[in-house]
Amino acid sequence: MSNAMSYKGYQARIEYDDDDRIFWGRLAGINDIISFHADNVEALRMAFEEAVDDYLETCATHGKEPQKPYSGKMMFRVAPEVHRRAALAAELAGKSLNQWAEELIDSATRDADDGQRAA
């Protein structure tokens, strides 16, 4: 089972609210808050696509460049021991720490993406 939708390069995480008996979603990976909801899956898909189309149209109308998910730059902190082990593993593999980490993240996310597609 997948809890995400994709359209025109945008992704949304989908949730279910049992109190209101609706599915709702929000675009992921951008700072602008774009959300949508519906009471069934078919209507949710339409609401999602309409939300993305409206977002792109609104940006064009206002001369604003729509946010695209992710720039390719990642900055995060890890414990010093994790940093040491990662740097050593990268060096032993003959790669920069960035190359090594990118390959691992790419592999892990492809596995997760393949799992979503199989569901």
pLDDT digits (tens, 9 = 90+) for 8-19: 989 999 999 999
Domain containing 110 equals 80-118
Residue 8 one-letter amino acid: K
pTM summary value: 0.63
Cα gap 116→4, rounded to integer Å:
8
DSSP at 43? H
99 domain residue, yes or no: yes
Contact assessment for residue 23 and residue 47, using Cβ atoms and an 8 Å cutoff:
no
Question: Phi first, then psi: what are they for 50, rounded to 5°?
Answer: -65, -40
- Residues 56 and 84 placed together within one structural domain of the fold: no
28 domain residue, yes or no: yes
pLDDT at residue number 24 = 96
What is the dihedral sign for C-alpha 5, 27, 71, 62?
A: positive
pLDDT at residue number 58 = 96
- Residues 24 and 56 placed together within one structural domain of the fold: yes
Residue 107 has pLDDT above 60, yes or no: yes
- Residues 21 and 56 placed together within one structural domain of the fold: yes
- Residues 45 and 90 placed together within one structural domain of the fold: no
Contact assessment for residue 5 and residue 119, using Cβ atoms and an 8 Å cutoff:
no
pLDDT single digits (tens) 32-85: 999 999 999 999 999 999 999 999 999 999 999 998 866 778 888 999 999 999
- Residues 56 and 18 placed together within one structural domain of the fold: yes
What is the H or E stretch that residue 70 is in? Answer: none
Task: Tell me the pLDDT band of 115, cut-offs 50, 70 and 90.
Answer: low
pLDDT at residue number 110 = 84
